[in-house]
Amino acid sequence: MEDTSKTGNDGIALKCEGLTKLYTSGLIRTKTVVGARDVTFDIKRGEIVSLAGESGSGKSTVARMILRLIKPTSGDIALNGRSIYSYNIREYYRQVQAVFQDPYSAFNPFYIVDHVLERAFGLREDNLNRDERSKIIRSTLESIGLNPSEVLGRYPHELSGGQMQRLLIGRSLLIGSQLLIADEPTSMIDASTRAGVLNLLLSLKKEKGLSVLFITHDIGQAQYVSERVIVMKQGEVVEQGPVDEVFTRPQHPYTKELLAAVPTLYERWKECS
């Protein structure tokens, strides 16, 4: 176990402070595009936090910085109280994993899906043999409601989007990560299977104490799945707080406008009736 003073006993899994990403292009007349500016928030252990916003709001940029796929221009990200850059890469990815928006892009079409799960064992410290690995894979898949015989040994295009997203969540369980960055995991899968992915995240939070950063443009899903929400617009955080407050009594004009534009199943907009 790590030193508690280091991991911090404040219960915070991930903390972003003043996170900024600027993209500059051109040599002489440089043009700067803001990916994210001064983004500050934290995620507690066993908490699902939604990062909501429209396209171009910078929510994926934040995700990619947390995943160490791009480097921030300035600002700090700390995992368990330590800068994420102080971890070696394998140590870091053992704790932080991701599910991406497009499941068809997340699986290499060249391999059967087992490839992605097998790879995951590369991060684990125990050297398991083939049988042990296969046993763990099967039990993990069963625990997240997938029938191993229906998914293993198949190519990605033979599976549904929902099955693939569950497989990726399963992958992070195999690794044993504590923080999952879910970047629009449900936006490309059908409504009838979407609920399954959301419920899976909720049950993992409850049973395993998994922390999740749930990135979405869908306000309804953010409201269903998370306790706290961060609303972003053009790279900046405009409002954050408990879901029940932000989504029922929005303070910032942008949040108000955004929420007013969300269609709901049970009411019709005044303009449309």
**Contacts with other proteins, residue ranges (CB under 8 A):** 54-55, 67, 69, 89-90, 93, 97-98, 100-102, 105-111, 116, 119-120, 122-123, 155, 160, 162-163, 168, 190-196, 198-199, 217-221, 223-225, 243-244, 247-248, 257-266, 268-269, 271-272
Q: How far is the CB of 173 from other proteins (least distance, A)?
A: 14
Q: How far is the CB of 65 from other proteins (least distance, A)?
A: 13
Question: Long-range contacts made by residues 121-129, C-beta under 8 angstroms, separation at least 24?
Answer: 121/174, 123/90, 123/93, 123/94, 123/175, 124/94, 124/174, 124/175, 124/176
Q: How far is the CB of 9 from other proteins (least distance, A)?
A: 28
76: β partners: 17
Q: How far is the CB of 88 from other proteins (least distance, A)?
A: 10
Q: How far is the CB of 44 from other proteins (least distance, A)?
A: 20
Q: What is the DSSP string of 80-112?
A: TTEEGGGS-HHHHHHHEEEE-S-HHHHS-TTS-
Cα distances from 178 to residues 65, 175, 192, 213, in angstroms, run 17, 9, 28, 11
φ, ψ (nearest 5 deg) of residue 210? -70, 140
CB-CB contact of 238 with 71 (8 Å)? no
Q: How far is the CB of 181 from other proteins (least distance, A)?
A: 10
Count H helices and E strands in the chain, helices first: 12, 10
Q: How far is the CB of 129 from other proteins (least distance, A)?
A: 19
**CB nearer other proteins, residue 18 or residue 90:** 90
Q: Cα–Cα distance between 49 and 41 in angstroms, integer? A: 10
- Side-chain half-sphere CA neighbours of 82 within 13 A: 15
As a whole number of Å, the end-to-end CA separation of the chain is 60
**CB nearer other proteins, residue 8 or residue 56:** 56
**CB nearer other proteins, residue 55 or residue 129:** 55
Q: Cα–Cα distance between 179 and 212 in angstroms, integer? A: 6
